[in-house]
Chain A
Amino acid sequence: MESRRDVFQAIADPTRRAILLLLAAQALTPGAIAENFDSSRQTISKHIQILTECELVKAEQHGREILYHVNAKQMSEVADFIEAFRKLWDERFNKLESIMKTYKSKK
């Protein structure tokens, strides 16, 4: 359960989702990934590191280069989808809670 939550934290970020989509099309070097974004190479490499740590992407030595590709097995585990559904409701209820807390103080 713990590692699964990490996975969802990883894909909660739009840049990391975009990286996953890029890698779903083809394996890329860190430099080639970074070229697709306005963010610094350092920022992108941090994102890649997070994706690697929760095993959503895998690094593979290819001659002198390192290529990143999507770890299909882990991605299919994500497919139980429940966490995204939970998060939607959690955010909704958080909003309800914070609105009602200020509502209370107004009284």
Chain B
Amino acid sequence: MELKTKIHAEDNRQELTITREFELPLELLFQAYAEAEIVEQWMGTKVLKLENKNHGSYRFETTDPRGNKHYFNGTYHTYVPEVKIIRTFEMENTPFDVQLEFLDFESLTPDTSKLTMKIVYRSAEMRDQMLKLPFAQGINMAHNRLQEIVKKRN
């Protein structure tokens, strides 16, 4: 089966590209980025601020299973509806530096569309660290599960 979401990340580079084709018309795909209510649903986050304009900014809040709150923010450098978004993204209170994101939206057919998201990190090392994050979280989840199992036995 053809993968819907693709990652292109060359060795020793400080950027990567995520591409995804959607079974959605372009306007609906873009709407998912423009409306706070919808962003909250698919990103699993609370939207504190979302200013859809050049030089506008956004801020999200998520709560982890332990009840800790995490904040994310960024600024829109360029905001052209149904064409492109250029923005920064930063996780607050983490050692990770701000990253620059180029989102290009295009229509493929009246019913399908494509998103190309290029992310540029401060360094190649930082990119690799960010790439490893979901994997590390998966391992953490396994660790937690293991701890639960051990607790149950004792």
Residues of chain A having any CB pair with chain B under 8 Å: 11, 14-15, 17-18, 20-22, 36-38, 81-82, 84-90, 92-97, 99-101, 103-104
Residues of A within 8 A of B41 (CB): 95, 99
Q: B24 to A97, Cβ gap below 8 A? A: yes
Q: B149 to A37, Cβ gap below 8 A? A: yes
From residue B44, how far is it (CB to closest CB) to chain A in Å?
8
Quick check: is B32 within 8 A (CB to CB) of the other chain?
yes
Using a Cβ cutoff of 8 Å, how many contacts connect chains A and B? 89
Q: A86 to B5, Cβ gap below 8 A? A: yes
Q: B131 to A85, Cβ gap below 8 A? A: yes
Residues of chain B having any CB pair with chain A under 8 Å: 3-7, 9, 18, 20, 22-24, 28-29, 31-32, 38, 41-43, 115, 131-135, 138-139, 141-143, 145-146, 149, 152-153
Given contacts A17-B139, A92-B42, contact A82 B153 (CB under 8 A): no
In addition to A85-B134, A96-B32, 13 A-B residue pairs with Cβ atoms within 8 Å of each other are A15-B145, A17-B141, A85-B131, A85-B133, A86-B5, A89-B5, A89-B7, A89-B20, A90-B3, A93-B4, A99-B32, A100-B32, A104-B28
Residues of A within 8 A of B3 (CB): 86, 90
From residue B150, how far is it (CB to closest CB) to chain A in Å?
8
- Between A and B, 5 residue pairs with Cβ closer than 8 Å are A81-B135, A88-B134, A89-B20, A93-B115, A100-B29
